[in-house]
Amino acid sequence: MSAPASGFPSPVGSRASTSAPTSAELLDFVRRTAADSDLVASLPLDPEGRTWVRLEGPRGSEAWLIGWPPGTGTGWHDHAESVGAFTTAAGSLKENSLAVRLPTDGWKTLELTEGVDRERKLATGQGRAFGRNHVHEVLNESPTEHAISVHAYYPPLPQIRRYSRTGAVLRLEHVERPEDWQ
C-alpha cells in the first residue's frame, strides 16, 4: 500500500450527539461524501498501490477515501465488531461476501457450506451498509481504470481479521490492529 495522504478537509462530521451512528447513517454519510467531486478529485492516485486518506466520520466514526488502481483488491477480511458502509465514488468495484455469521474467536479454519457466497457490482454512486463481523473482499476488476470509494466504520476499527480462501475453506491468517495501517 502507498503511504496515506494527509491534509484533507473533513467533508462532513458532527460530534454534537453522543449516540453511535447506525450502518444506515454511515451509508448516508459515505454517499454524501462520495458526491463531493472536489474531494474525490483531490485524492492522489498511484498506478500500482492503493492510496487513502482518513476523513472525519459522523459522531466519532472512522472514514476513509480510498483509491484503487486497476486490478487491485483487499483480499478476504472483516472489520470485527464495527458496523460499516462504503460507496463507489468513481469507477466500479466488486464486492464478494459471505452470507453467513462466522464465529468471532477460537477458530483458524472453517469449511463453508454451499450458497453462502454473494457478489455485488457497485458502479459510481452505489454502495452498501454492513453489520458486525461481515466477511468480504472488495476488488477493482477494471484492467485500465482507477476506482475511488468512501468507507466509514463505527466504532473506529479495533482490528481487521485477514483470511485466505481456497474453494470452500476459509482460513484466518492474521489480525491487523490500527497501528498496522495508520
33: helix, strand or coil: helix
Give the model's pLDDT for residue 181.
67
pLDDT in tens, the chain (182 residues): 443 333 333 444 444 446 999 999 999 999 999 999 999 999 999 999 999 999 999 999 999 999 999 999 999 999 988 999 999 999 999 999 999 887 767 789 999 999 999 999 999 999 999 998 899 999 999 999 999 999 999 999 889 999 999 999 999 999 999 888 66
Strand partners, 77: 136, 162
- Tell the burial category of 166 from Cβ atoms under 10 Å away from its Cβ (0-12, 13-18, 19+): exposed
pTM listed for this prediction: 0.86
Give the model's pLDDT for residue 182.
61
Give the model's pLDDT for residue 6.
34
> How many Å separate Cα 21 from the centre of its chain?
16
100-120 as b/e: b if 16+ CB within 10 A: eebeeeeeeebebeeeeeeee
